[in-house]
Amino acid sequence: MKITVYGATGMIGQRIVNEALTRGHEVIAVARRPENLKLEHAKLKKQPGDIANPDSVAYLAKDSDAIVCSVNAPEGVDPSWFSTVAKSLLEGTSKAGKTPMYVVGGAGSLHIAPNVQLVDTPNFPEAYKSVALEHRKFLEILKNSGTTHWTYLSPAAFISPGERTGKFRLGLEELVTDSEGNSKISAEDFAVALLDEIESPKHQGKRFTLAY
């Protein structure tokens, strides 16, 4: 498969690129500064690109089997940028014939109780709240788009670099926790779950999540 990864230099994006290459896929790594991705591989192409421009997205999507969105808002840009990206991805991939798109989302919109999302709890870190709320809007835009060529993968409450175990539990709209109430996943295992989904789609037009 040919997989285009936006945000390829980020913590999660780099691991998605590496996992895809390890599985033998061809990868187009797109970033504002693609030279920051130090990985070199015969099946890896690096290039700049504007995910907020639907024509730019369509140009890459028409020659891709999958589009991955693993981006952070540029420094100094209002978090509402994420809504622009959601609309751009939907328009661009639709222009290209509805190329399947996979979004690295946030955990804040996961439910911890009926009608209670993680981002709405008192202990949710204030520093991350504005971005979490924009990620929630991103998901709402996808759900209200009338299309199903998208998949949104929310991480566990805590995600960080770690070990690739290939062992984790999946969920849908609720935060996945262990017996002690912890919700964690490594960025490496997040990439495993995303590539599993790309290779064998089971959550088209849906959100899913994972944790140990």
pLDDT in tens, 169-208: 999 999 999 999 999 999 999 999 999 999 999 999 999 9
| The pLDDT of residue 72 | 85
Average model confidence (pLDDT) for the chain?
Answer: 95
pTM: predicted TM-score of the whole model, two decimal places: 0.94
Cβ within 8 Å of residue 191, ≥6 positions away: 12, 15, 16, 18, 19, 164
According to DSSP, the residues that pair with 66 across neighbouring strands are 3
H-type alpha helices, the chain: 11-22, 54-61, 81-95, 126-143, 187-199
Letter string b/e over residues 67-89, b meaning 16 or more CB atoms within 10 A of that residue's CB: bbbbbbbeeeeebebbbbbbbbb
Q: Is the pLDDT of residue 77 over 80?
A: no
| The pLDDT of residue 178 | 95
pLDDT band at 99 (very low <50, low <70, confident <90, very high): very high
Taking the C-alpha atoms of residue 101 and residue 149, their distance in angstroms, rounded to an integer, is: 6
| The pLDDT of residue 76 | 73
Give, to the nearest 10 degrees, the angle between helix 81-95 and helix 126-143. Answer: 30
∠ at Cα 39 (37, 40), nearest 5°?
125
CB-based contact 147:94 (threshold 8 Å): yes
- The percentage of the chain sitting over the pLDDT mark of 70, rounded to a whole number, equals 100
Q: Is the pLDDT of residue 28 over 80?
A: yes
| The pLDDT of residue 33 | 86
pLDDT band at 42 (very low <50, low <70, confident <90, very high): very high
Taking the C-alpha atoms of residue 140 and residue 160, their distance in angstroms, rounded to an integer, is: 26
Taking the C-alpha atoms of residue 136 and residue 182, their distance in angstroms, rounded to an integer, is: 22
pLDDT tens per residue, range 44-64 = 999 999 999 999 999 999 999
Is domain 2-211 annotated with CATH 2.40.110.10?
A: no
Q: Is the pLDDT of residue 136 over 90?
A: yes
Residue 7: how many other CB atoms lie within 10 Å: 22
